[in-house]
Amino acid sequence: MLHHARWTSYWQAAPLAAVFLAFFILPLIVTLVVSFWSYTGYSIEPAFIWDNYRDAFDRCVESLPDLCTTFRTYLSTLKFCLTVWLLTLVIGFTIAYYLTFEIRSSTVRLVLALLCTIPFWTSNVIRMISWVPLLGRNGLVNQALMGAGLVEQPLDWLLYSNFSVILAFVHINTVFMIVPIANSMSRIDRSLVEAARDAGATGWQILSNVIIPLSKTGIAIGSIFVITVVMGDFITIGIMGGQQIASAGKVIQTQIGALQFPIAAANAVVLLAVVLMIIALLVRFIDIRKEL
């Protein structure tokens, strides 16, 4: 009887483990293997060569102190990632705080939380395309600005620019910050806040010394979601950037479109390594297992 009880938990976890193996581990292994294959304009041949990784960082050493194309692309991607992370963190934390500490009714809190998920009711592509009639040269925003006399001619930087890419990223990914942070805040004992307030702490002191430290696990989880999505994205940058802005994900997508699978796989492995290093840095300071 004890023998069967010992294996019960393993059998319960087996279906999820099988799905994880089939749809995550095996594709990663295949990608890693293909990244060492050789290819020409007409064929792909199994091999074990480092040429694809050399091509990914072609002439990066020789171009020093200037940055090569690959490093400039990753630097641009990291800038987008950092900017979007900061904006989604501020907006997500503010909304999560309001939902958790300012709304007393659980029904109202649930309704407002569901409203935050409305962007997920439509596809990302539709949400991004919806910005075009708003931010375009003849869009509603430019018409309103010109009608109010604030500008004399349409603003070209509202669409197909870094601004529009960041705006779309924030629009899409803020909910990934709201949910885990709100979950962490909901677990904070209200007596700690009341004790700090009774001790004479200001609102800012309560926020910085009580709420933020106790919400750091949710902040880390939300950060992982946002960073992972932004670093590998190519659809948002392609549509909102007018196919004019480079990113690590966009480079991989272009190489796949040209049927250059081995070098695309090599770039995917490099991108995965960069993302894992960022995540490792986050989990080094925060124990995410407490939230799971």
Q: What is the mean pLDDT of residues 102-119?
A: 80
Q: Give bridge partners of residue 45 from the DSSP assignment.
A: 38
pLDDT tens digits, residue range 190-246?
Answer: 888 888 888 888 888 888 888 998 898 899 999 999 999 999 888 889 888 888 888
Neighbouring C-alpha atoms within 13 Å toward the C-beta of 51: 11
**44-45 and 38-39 as β-strands: parallel, antiparallel, unpaired?**
antiparallel
pTM for this one?
0.86
Q: Alpha-carbon distance 24 to 21, whole Å? A: 6
Q: Alpha-carbon distance 264 to 31, whole Å? A: 9
The domains of the chain, with CATH numbers, are 68-290 (1.10.3720.10)
Task: Please tell me what DSSP assigns to residue 119.
Answer: G
Q: What is the pLDDT of residue 33?
A: 93
Can you count the helices (H) and strands (E) in the chain? 16, 2
> How far is the CA of 260 from the CAs of 37, 42, 134, 257, in angstroms?
11, 10, 37, 8
Task: Please tell me what DSSP assigns to residue 243.
Answer: T
What region does 255 belong to: left with phi over 0, alpha with psi -120 to 50, or beta?
alpha
Q: Alpha-carbon distance 116 to 179, whole Å? A: 9
pLDDT tens digits, residue range 17-71?
Answer: 899 899 889 999 999 999 998 887 777 888 888 888 888 777 666 666 666 677 8
Q: What is the pLDDT of residue 196?
A: 87
